[in-house]
């Protein structure tokens, strides 16, 4: 069964600190992996997209890594800001016709002043 | 064109009523998707259009749900005889290929 699991479920960090979110997946055949940021009551916004041949990709203070062999990904947030408080969702695309997306349940991050 | 637009943003309806949501994708995107998201969960796939053709439907899309994309541009999602379990955020996304999805802000449905 295609699944995406994320950890931790929730996280509280102090403003300015770094954090790393984890994602494990069992989606096959793998096409690409995305990290989205979702503010409460809003739609997800894409942070990074990686194919199997990419093992790291950055977007400002966000850096995603991908290990296609172990089927693991991480999202590292550097120098956190209050506006980083949101849910971070790992999404894996299966290479089945229309690129079906399999969503994780997300990590809820709270950045505290 | 500033992105995927969904209307309304919020909808409160009484159980048993019909509701319709609209999604306007990014104009050059030929693929359109509907997802449903309940509190604390990731979005679940409902259906997918390529141009005006509905190519995939999830088992979550019961007989009470219908989606259309008549001219290959905007799409509507209708729920008939709403139930309390239909309360959720309904997300629309569009893409030109299967690679770059852009999500709308969603329509939050509350069935009372």
Residue A19 has what pLDDT?
A: 98
Q: Token pair of A78, please?
A: 């550097």
pLDDT grade for B42, boundaries at 50, 70 and 90: confident
Residue of B39, B43, B96, B109 to mutate when probing chain A, most A C-beta within 10 A = B43
Q: Give the gap in angstroms from C-alpha A78 to the nearest C-alpha of chain B.
A: 24
Residue B27 has pLDDT above 60, yes or no: yes
List the single residue in A32, A97, A103 with the smallest CB-CB distance to B43. A103
Cα separations (Å) of B68 from A41, A65, B55?
Answer: 25, 38, 11
Tell me the average pLDDT across B48-52.
92
Residue B7 has what pLDDT?
A: 97
Which DSSP state fits B27?
T
Residue A52 has what pLDDT?
A: 85
Which residues on A lie below 8 Å from B93 (Cβ)? Answer: 43
Which DSSP state fits B71?
T
Residue A100 has what pLDDT?
A: 74
Provide the CB-side half-sphere exposure for B7 (13 A, CA).
4
Residue B1 has pLDDT above 60, yes or no: no
List the single residue in A31, A97, A100 with the smallest CB-CB distance to B45. A100
Task: Kindly determine whether residue A101 and residue B45, on different chains, have CB atoms separated by under 8 Å.
Answer: yes
Tell me the average pLDDT across A8-36.
94
Q: Token pair of A87, please?
A: 């849910």
Q: Are A57 and A72 in contact (CB under 8 A)?
A: no
Query: What's the CA angle centered on A58, arms A53 and A64, to 5 degrees?
Result: 65
């Amino acid at each position: 069964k295609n699944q995406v699991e994320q950890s931790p479920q929730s996280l509280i960090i102090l403003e300015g600190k770094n954090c790393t979110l984890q994602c494990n997946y069992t989606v096959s055949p793998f096409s690409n992996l995305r990290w989205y940021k979702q503010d409460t009551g809003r739609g997800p916004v894409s942070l990074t997209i990686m194919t199997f041949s990419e093992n790291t990709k950055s977007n400002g203070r966000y850096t995603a890594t991908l290990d296609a062999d172990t089927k693991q990904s991480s999202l590292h947030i550097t120098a956190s800001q209050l506006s980083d408080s949101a849910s971070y969702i790992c999404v894996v695309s299966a290479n089945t016709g229309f690129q079906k997306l399999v969503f994780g349940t997300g990590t809820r991050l709270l950045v505290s002043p | 064109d500033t992105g995927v637009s969904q209307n309304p943003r919020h909808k409160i309806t009484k159980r048993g009523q019909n509701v319709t949501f609209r999604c306007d994708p990014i104009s050059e995107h030929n693929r359109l998707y509907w997802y449903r998201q309940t509190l604390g969960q990731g979005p679940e796939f409902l259906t997918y259009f390529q141009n005006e053709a509905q190519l995939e439907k999830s088992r979550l899309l019961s007989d009470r749900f219908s989606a259309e994309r008549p001219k290959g541009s905007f799409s509507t999602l209708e729920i008939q005889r709403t139930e309390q379990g239909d309360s959720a955020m309904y997300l629309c996304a569009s893409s030109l290929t299967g690679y770059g999805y852009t999500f709308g802000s969603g329509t939050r449905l509350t069935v009372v």
